[in-house]
Amino acid sequence: MNKLEMTEIIITAKTQSGLSWEAIAAQVGLAPAFVTSACLGMNSLKAEPADKLCQVLGLPAEVSTALQAFPHKSWDKTIPTDPVIYRLYEVVGVYGDTIKALIHEKFGDGIMSAIDFSMHIDKEENPAGDRVKITMNGKFLPYKSW
C-alpha cells in the first residue's frame, strides 16, 4: 500500500467515525498537527502510534505499515488554488524576507529546522471575528564554515 492509498483509507475511516483530528491525536498520544501530517502522507509514525491510530479507526495492519514507511516529502510545485493553502503561500511571499531577516538578526546565519519542529493551530475567539493562531517552533540550525 502506498501513501496515497493509505491517506484515502484513513480519510474515509475518519469521516465514517465522526472523529476530529484532535480526538484521533489524543487517542494516539501525539500532537494533532503531526498525526494529521502523517495521515496525509508527509510524515511517518513509529509502530506503537501507527497501531493505535489503526485501532482507533478500525483499520487493517497494512495501513499501520504504510504509516510507518518513510515519506517522500514532495508536493506540486505550482501555486495551490485552495484558499487556505494559497493564503499561507501569500504569507510567505509577503513576509518571507522579513521572517528571514529577523531570524538572521536574532540568531545569525542559519535556518529554522522543519525536522526538529512542532506546530500548533489554535482558535482565538474575538468579537471582531475569530482568529487563526499558528505557532511554529523549530530548532535553529546555524550554517557551518569549513
Give me the pLDDT at residue 79, please: 84
Percent of the residues in the chain that have a pLDDT greater than 70, as a whole number: 100
CA distance 90 to 94: 6
Residue 137: which domain range?
A: 83-142
The verdict on 49 and 89 lying in the same domain is no
The verdict on 88 and 64 lying in the same domain is no
pLDDT classification of 146: cutoffs 50, 70, 90: confident
Q: pLDDT digit string (tens) for 42-91?
A: 999 999 999 999 999 999 999 999 999 999 877 777 888 999 999 999 99
Handedness of CA 136, 40, 21, 65 (dihedral sign): negative
| Active site (catalytic) residues | 87, 90, 113
The verdict on 87 and 48 lying in the same domain is no
- Any idea what DSSP says for residue 47? H
The verdict on 46 and 94 lying in the same domain is no
Return the CATH number at 35.
Answer: 1.10.260.40
Query: What pTM did the predictor assign?
Result: 0.82
Give 1-40 as a 3 state SS string: CCHHHHHHHHHHHHHHHCCCHHHHHHHHCCCHHHHHHHHC
The mean pLDDT value for 15-33 works out to 96
Instruction: Give the three-class secondary structure for 113.
Output: strand
